[in-house]
Structures are given as structure tokens and as C-alpha cells.
Structure 1
Amino acid sequence: MIQIKDLHKSYQVGTNKLHVLKGLNFEVEEGELVSIMGSSGSGKSTFLNILGMLDEADSGDYILDGFPIKKLNEKIAAKYRNEFLGFVFQSFNLINYKNALDNVALPLYYQGIKRKERIEKAEYYLEKVGLIEWAEHLPSELSGGQKQRVAIARALASNPKVLLADEPTGALDSTTSYDVMELLQGINDEGKTILVVTHEYDIANMTKRIVHLKDGVIVSDEKVIQKRVLQNV
């Protein structure tokens, strides 16, 4: 599903060049649930941005579902993002003046899907995350956990190949974090490929594989015995 070969990325900082990613090699098979960990400055945010086609590597190969992701103009990159990727953010990134249903339906609008079908799909995914009764509520009327569930429903609405979750529990308390991870585990059980960036070990241990980044290189990559939510209660 994802193949990364000898990936390098640097940024110009004043007169100096900061080498952020230093020859990463990384693969994810379809249906995996992988967490990416690393302290501030490890390169994990840069790596996630490249995976999400929000930034481009200086050199190396990135292949997503058989397609080489390289030197794409913004129009093509946006098309691939819509087709291949779903995003979940720590800050939810919901539109405050739109209700939960319209927030979930929004990506489908940009895919040119007619309103009736958009609403049907949005209702389906709100039902899937347990929030269909909150469909008409604005984000300001939802709890943090509910907002993240809406964000997950929105990410799933376009049926992406890969779900990228950037610190999805970072703004939530422990109980709500486990609820969100239980939802992601269930989605993964259905076959969806998910990558979770997190700094929390208890969250990482609820995935099936943990990749550690340090100073721009992968220092460990190991499969783990996945903890299910009920084991944490």
C-alpha cells in the first residue's frame, strides 16, 4: 500500500540547511494499523506531511497504492489526496458554522457528488461512529470526543485507501482517547489501513506496529501485541 525508499528532506534555515529526514525506508501493507512515534524534532510531522502529499521529499521514492507520488502539481496532488487519503487532526478542523452532517459531507462536495448522495453517505458514516442523533448539531454543541468522531466520519466519507491520524487523541482525556482508539481499531478490523502519529505510549500500544523516529531516521520498527480497549478499563 505504501512504499518509501531512501527518502530525504531538508529545509533551509537562514544560511544553514537542516536535514530533517535522512534516508527513510518504510513500508505499510494494506490493512495495517501503524503508529509513528518520536519526540519534537524527530521528523515525524515532516514525514506525515510527505505521506499526506502536503509536502514533497527532496529525493527518494514514495509509492502509494502503486502510484508514484513525485513532482505532482497541486491540482493532481489534491485529486490524489481526495482519492487515496483521509485525514484526522488533533484539533478536529471542523467548520464551526456547519452542522455535523454537513461537515462529514464536505469532502464529497469537492468530489462532485450530488447532494442527495452526499447526505446519504454522511448519514451512513455518522451512524457508523455513533453520532447520527447529533447530525444537526454544530461543533460548539459537541464534546471533544464527539468532534473527533465527526472528524473520523468525515475522513471515511470518501472511502480513502489510507487514514492518516495526526495526534488524534492529543486534545482528549484518557477515557475519551480510548473510545476514539476503539473506533479506529474497529475501522481497521474492517480492513482500512491506518497510520497514527502519537507521542502517547498507551495509544501506540493500541496499534499493531510501532515505528520510532529519532533525528530523522527510523530507530525501531516492531510489531506489538495490540491492546484492545476493554483491557484498559
Structure 2
Amino acid sequence: MGSNSLHVLKGIDFEVAEGEMVSIMGSSGSGKSTLLNILGMLDEADEGTYHLDGKPIKNLNEKIAAKYRNQFLGFIFQSFNLINYKTALDNVAMPLYYQGVNRKIRMEKAHHYLEKVGLADWATHLPNELSGGQKQRVAIARALASDPKVLLADEPTGALDTTTSYEVMELIQGINDEGKTILCVTHEDDIAHMCKRIVNLKDGVIIDDSPVQQVRAKEAQKKALHHV
């Protein structure tokens, strides 16, 4: 920022194995989003190394970075980031368009992933005709459409109520059960425990990195309903 520089991450050293489901936690300003942006190739670290699927991610021009992102990564955001004037189906098909997949196959795949998230009947609806939970499901389908190796979820339940959050987490857990690697940034303790490992950040440093007994979202939802 002008002549001021802010040292956000201070010697982060960690590894995520294929098929893991890891939560990254920390208070506001701890470095969670910066870490996720570096992992997602949206930002580049000033020092150190980052390897994705064995490939060093360093000094990539935007074209190659975009290609790698499209090939390796799926993104799920708190604010959904759907294109308002496009239908659910077109939103899901978007990453495949950038991969140069022909329209017929794009639409078939997009329909398959909408079906997977339980929204096949909403394919022709625009985002403003969908609930928050449905929008996030469309965003998850879009993230899966290019069959990425890793899903990066930034506060995926941050804009949702508890019941809908647990439904979305049940879907994300199911995707992980199928073998996808998932990193989930959250500040919600119950959501973090729906992962299998929690990495805690404080002031740009990992203060704890531990496996946890995963809470299944379906069970948590039953308990929540029972308490009501």
C-alpha cells in the first residue's frame, strides 16, 4: 500500500495430501484469505515455495496461471460470485467454456453437476430466483464442473443460516468422500469440525495443526433440529 508493506504470512510451512479435508481457521487479519489466495494462484508469495500437484508455482504469467487454476482448482466463495444474467446451467458451464469444451458437452456436464447438487429442476433459473443455499449449490456445481484436483472454499457457509450451512457442508463432505481434496477457510468452529484437520492461524503464523474427529453434517443437523 504505497510505501507501506504489510507482512501477512510469516514462514507458513504445511502440506496437504491428496484427499484431505482441511479447515483453515483464524480471527480476522490472521492471514487466512492471503493464504487461500496464494494457494489459489490469485496472489504470489514474495518468498518461499509453493508446489501444486508437484509443480512449482512461481513467476507464472497470467495466461499460464489461469490455465493451472482452471485445470487444478475449483473455487467456492462466501458471496457465491454467480453471473446474475446467466442461468444456473450457464453459470456451471462457465469454466468449461474457458477450457474450450464444445457447447453440447459443456451443457451435458453442467446438467450432470447441477443434478449432483440436487438442482437439475432449477437449471433455467437466474441467480435472483434462487435462495442463498441454492446459489451456493450452483457455485459448488460450477467449482466441480472442470473436475479440479482441489476445491478451495472461502467461508462457504458465511452467508447462510445454520440449517442451510449444514446442508451445504453435507454436500461438501460427500465430495470429499469421493476423493477430492478440500481446503475450507472458516471462522465457525462447528463448520471447522466438519473437516478432518484444523489449521489455526494467528498473526500470520500457524499456531496449531491437528487432525480432528470429523463431525458429519447430517448428524449435526439432526442434533440442531432436536434442540429446537
- Matched with 2:92 is 104
Shift of 1:138: 0.6
CA distance in 2, matches of 1:166, 1:126: 21
CA distance in 2, matches of 1:136, 1:41: 39
CA distance in 2, matches of 1:68, 1:84: 13
Shift of 1:15: 4.0
CA distance in 1, matches of 2:116, 2:207: 37
CA distance in 1, matches of 2:132, 2:5: 39
CA distance in 1, matches of 2:29, 2:109: 39
Letter in 2 for 1:50: I
Pairing of 1:188-203 with structure 2 (within 5 A): 188-203=176-191
CA distance in 1, matches of 2:3, 2:217: 49
**Change in CA separation of 1:115 and 1:14 when aligned onto 2, cut-off 3 Å:** closer
Tell me, what secondary structure is at the counterpart of 1:186?
A: helix
Deviation readout 1:26-46 (Å, 9 max, x if unpaired): 100000000000111101111
- Mapped pair 1:77 → 2:65: yes
Q: Which runs of 4+ in 1 moved over 3 A?
A: 13-16
- Matched with 1:33 is 21
- Matched with 2:40 is 52
CA distance in 2, matches of 1:50, 1:229: 28
- Matched with 1:210 is 198
Letter in 1 for 2:140: I
Shift of 1:199: 0.4
- Matched with 1:161 is 149
Pairing of 1:37-186 with structure 2 (within 5 A): 37-186=25-174
CA distance in 2, matches of 1:128, 1:88: 16
Q: In the comparison of the two structures, how many residue pairs are matched? A: 221
CA distance in 2, matches of 1:18, 1:99: 40
Q: Which has the higher contact order (CA 8 A, sep 6+)?
A: 2
Shift of 1:145: 0.2
CA distance in 2, matches of 1:179, 1:194: 17
Tell me, what secondary structure is at the counterpart of 2:206?
A: strand
Unaligned 5+ residue runs, structure 2? 223-228
CA distance in 2, matches of 1:168, 1:62: 24
CA distance in 2, matches of 1:223, 1:35: 10
Deviation readout 1:68-98 (Å, 9 max, x if unpaired): 0001010110000000000000000001111
Shift of 1:14: 4.5
CA distance in 1, matches of 2:90, 2:111: 10
Tell me, what secondary structure is at the counterpart of 2:70?
A: helix
TM-score, structure 1 as length reference = 0.93
Tell me, what secondary structure is at the counterpart of 1:27?
A: coil
CA distance in 1, matches of 2:219, 2:207: 28
Tell me, what secondary structure is at the counterpart of 1:48?
A: helix
CA distance in 1, matches of 2:135, 2:38: 26
- Matched with 2:226 is none
Q: Percent identity?
A: 79
